[in-house]
């Protein structure tokens, strides 16, 4: 298996400024020492509650945001140190699909212009007729029709708009797609359709996905492996069946227990997480999950658990496991 992306010790801290001199008084530790790999052709699900740093992780990998520190290599190339020109070339291979198909499509542009825009940016299909041909192909590959290319975003449903977003991301033949909650803004009935399209496209074009979501049920079908994030850190990562059948971290267990279980014979105890996610400006000491953890022990507020392999690449960070 080839690693297409390697993320090592990635940090993204946002300064918090205050006072008339706008002095930096603290930092929001949005991404705090995150490491993971993505293998070619797989889907890695990245899951956690809102504000845990998953979108920031995605944006920092693509350098839509500049990292505070760490390493990101894409096919062996060190992304974070590339100059603008080199970055532009490599950007073609890494595209993003955004959460909100309403906000991410320019309402004044036709579908043809929206989907064709990345082609222009990257100097591909310079002749308008060639570009239109390519746009038609792309629309068809996401289940829309060529006749729809001269319409405007508001003429489409949420699910169709997200398909337009997918077509745009595919235009430049990317290898890696970071999908940031691509179905969260859609009706549940439409979510599965969009996920199925993403899966079909993955097979057809050999795509690799980082699929970001806020709950574990959304990524269950599409992921090969799943990483769970809490307060800027990955707390567990393993292959899908291990994660769903044998979750090690109490946070993962709580997220899983929140998924409705259709089979009454498999009814499980529900763990309700108390309280809100603490502020990433001043994360709790020790294990940052301790104020909400149903299994917390005295030691948990004092000692920070190590992120360790508990067998066959099943990594987790929890003091209970030692």
Number of residues that bind ligand SF4 (CB under 6 A): 14
> Which of ligand SF4, Mg ion, none has residue 287 at its interface (CB below 5 to 8 Å by kind)?
ligand SF4
Q: What are phi and psi of 73, to 5 degrees?
A: -120, 135
> Which of ligand SF4, Mg ion, none has residue 300 at its interface (CB below 5 to 8 Å by kind)?
ligand SF4
Rule CB under 6 A: is residue 305 a binding residue for ligand SF4?
yes
Per-residue contact flags (x/-) with ligand SF4 for residues 268 to 297, judged by CB under 6 A: -------------------x-xx--x-xxx
Query: Closer to ligand SF4 at the Cβ: 67 or 287?
Result: 287
Radius of gyration, alpha carbons of the chain: 21
Please count the helices (runs of H) and the strands (runs of E) in the chain: 9, 12
**Beta strand spans in the chain (E):** 3-18, 23-39, 43-47, 69-74, 77-78, 94-97, 176-180, 208-213, 225-230, 233-239, 308-309, 315-316
- The b/e string for 150-164 (b: 16+ C-beta within 10 A; e otherwise) is eeebeebebbbbbbb
Non-local (6+) Cβ contacts of 26 within 8 A are: 15, 16, 281, 282
**Tokens describing residue 275:** 């309280």
Per-residue contact flags (x/-) with ligand SF4 for residues 220 to 249, judged by CB under 6 A: -----------------------------x
* CB of 206 vs ligand SF4, minimal distance in Å: 37
Rule CB under 6 A: is residue 300 a binding residue for ligand SF4?
yes
Rule CB under 6 A: is residue 29 a binding residue for ligand SF4?
no
Per the listing, tokens 């502020």 go with: 279
Binder of Mg ion out of 7, 10, 30, 55 (CB under 5 A): 55
Report yes or no: 96 and 177 within 8 Å, Cβ to Cβ. Answer: yes
Half-sphere CA count of 250, side-chain side, radius 13 A: 21
> Which of Mg ion, ligand SF4, none has residue 55 at its interface (CB below 5 to 8 Å by kind)?
Mg ion
* CB of 310 vs ligand SF4, minimal distance in Å: 13
* CB of 228 vs ligand SF4, minimal distance in Å: 11
Query: Closer to Mg ion at the Cβ: 55 or 208?
Result: 55
* CB of 56 vs Mg ion, minimal distance in Å: 8
**Site for Mg ion, rule CB under 5 A:** 55
Q: Which residues of the chain form contacts with ligand SF4 (CB under 6 A)? A: 249-250, 287, 289-290, 293, 295-297, 300, 305, 318-320
């Amino acid at each position: 298996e080839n690693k297409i992306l390697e993320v090592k010790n990635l940090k993204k801290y946002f300064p918090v400024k205050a006072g008339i001199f706008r002095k930096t008084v603290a930092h929001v530790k949005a991404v705090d020492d995150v490491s993971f790999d993505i293998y070619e052709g797989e889907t890695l699900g990245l899951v956690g509650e809102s504000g845990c740093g998953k979108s920031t992780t995605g944006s920092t990998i693509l350098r839509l945001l500049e990292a505070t520190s760490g390493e990101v290599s894409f096919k062996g190339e060190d992304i974070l140190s590339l100059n603008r020109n080199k970055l532009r070339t490599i950007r073609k291979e890494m595209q993003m699909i955004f959460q909100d198909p309403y906000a991410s499509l320019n309402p004044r542009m036709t579908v043809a212009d929206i989907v064709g825009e990345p082609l222009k940016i990257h100097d591909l299909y310079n002749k308008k007729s060639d570009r239109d041909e390519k746009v038609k192909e792309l629309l068809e590959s996401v289940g829309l029709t060529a006749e729809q290319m001269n319409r405007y975003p508001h003429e489409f449903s949420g699910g169709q708009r997200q398909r337009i977003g997918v077509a745009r991301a595919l235009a430049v033949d990317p290898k890696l797609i970071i999908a940031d909650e691509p179905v969260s803004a859609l009706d549940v009935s439409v979510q599965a359709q969009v996920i199925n399209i993403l899966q079909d496209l993955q097979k057809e074009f050999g795509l690799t996905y980082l699929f970001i979501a806020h709950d574990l049920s959304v990524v269950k079908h599409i992921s090969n492996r799943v990483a769970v994030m809490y307060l800027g850190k990955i707390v567990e990562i393993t292959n899908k069946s291990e994660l769903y059948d044998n979750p090690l971290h109490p946070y993962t267990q709580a997220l899983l227990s929140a998924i409705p279980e259709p089979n009454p014979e498999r009814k499980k105890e529900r763990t309700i997480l108390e309280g809100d996610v603490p502020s990433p400006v001043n994360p709790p000491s020790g294990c940052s999950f301790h104020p909400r953890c149903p299994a917390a022990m005295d030691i948990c507020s004092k000692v920070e658990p190590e992120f360790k392999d508990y067998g066959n690449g099943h990594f987790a960070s929890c003091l209970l496991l030692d």
